[in-house]
Amino acid sequence: MTPLLTGKVALVTGGARGLGRAICRTFRAEGARVAFTYARNEDAKNELLRDLGADGLAARVGVCDVPGTEAFLRSIEDAFGPLDILVNNAAITQNLPLALLEEDDWDRVMDTNVKGTFLTSRVVLRGMMRRRKGVILNVGSLAGERAIEAPIHYCTSKAAIRGFTEALAKEVARHGIRVLDLAPGLLEDGLGRNLPEHRLAEYLKHCALGRVGTFEEIARLAAFLVSERNAYMSGATIVADGGV
Ligand SMILES: NC(=O)c1ccc[n+]([C@@H]2O[C@H](COP(=O)([O-])OP(=O)(O)OC[C@H]3O[C@@H](n4cnc5c(N)ncnc54)[C@H](OP(=O)(O)O)[C@@H]3O)[C@@H](O)[C@H]2O)c1
């Protein structure tokens, strides 16, 4: 099969670990050159950069750091050429009930998961609009789609990603840009780790496939969604949850 992303240039936020890392590796395997950001884990960043070789680039840039993102975008475009694909993947959560949530907890989760998606998108959109092409894939979650037991601030942030995706898709379609929301169910590791036992059991009970998803399964779907083979899809939320 012809690779899906030959010659494309992609930026993945929070790409050093978990789902982001699988997306970086899969995009590379599908022919893209891949840049990624991370928050603090230097070892994970170095390991992935080694895997990506000359077709990889990384920067320690927070998703709300606009000057840092602008500078990194300039480096990406100097090294690889114009950016074709942005994956807003970075997100955080905390397993806390509402009564124990502090205002700061709420702000941290909303800032990383929602404001960071807005700010990073705004930085890359200027160039995409000028070139009249581009794809933005926002990583949402089943937690933003259905009434499942999950932290309130995290669910709220992921529901916001759906609204952001739909509104932005309408606004930028005239500039030749597609925007999508990929909403996975529970995955093998990452933000889903340390889940209370009863919540994992509840998920598996309601999941038709009876298992959690793998990062690789979601990364392969992501590669298809941003590819030109998926040219007629925009504004959609794609739920990949094994049938919950
Ligand atoms: N895992 C699941 O079960 C699951 C299910 C549904 C949806 N999702 C979604 O999938 C996406 C990835 O989750 P994951 O499970 O792979 O998480 P993860 O393993 O915790 O990885 C998160 C990545 O984001 C980076 N990051 C965190 N805050 C950042 C910031 N402010 N700026 C830049 N990068 C930042 C981290 O950097 P460092 O490595 O430097 O810390 C890390 O590389 C998220 O959007 C999440 O909501 C996950």
C-alpha distance from residue 32 to each of 23, 71, 97, 182, 239 (Å): 11, 21, 41, 19, 24
DSSP 3-state of 58? strand
Contacts 24+ apart (CB under 8 A), 51-57: 51/25, 52/24, 52/25, 52/28, 55/28, 55/80, 56/24, 56/28, 57/33
- pLDDT of res. 193: 84
What is the whole-number distance in angstroms between the Cα of residue 39 and the centre of ligand 1?
10
- pLDDT of res. 90: 98
What is the whole-number distance in angstroms between the Cα of residue 19 and the centre of ligand 1?
7
Q: Is 120 in the pocket of ligand 1 (CB under 6 A)?
A: no
- pLDDT of res. 99: 97
Positions of the chain with pLDDT lower than 70, given as ranges: none
What size, in residues, is the chain? Answer: 244
What is the whole-number distance in angstroms between the Cα of residue 216 and the centre of ligand 1?
15
- pLDDT of res. 11: 99
Round to whole Å and give the CA distance between 225 and 85. 11
Using CA positions, which residue lies closest to atom 47 of ligand 1?
91
Q: What is the CATH number of domain 9-238?
A: 3.40.50.720
The model's pTM: 0.98
Q: Any idea where the domains of the chain sit in the sequence? A: 9-238
**Active-site annotation holds for 154:** yes
- pLDDT of res. 110: 98
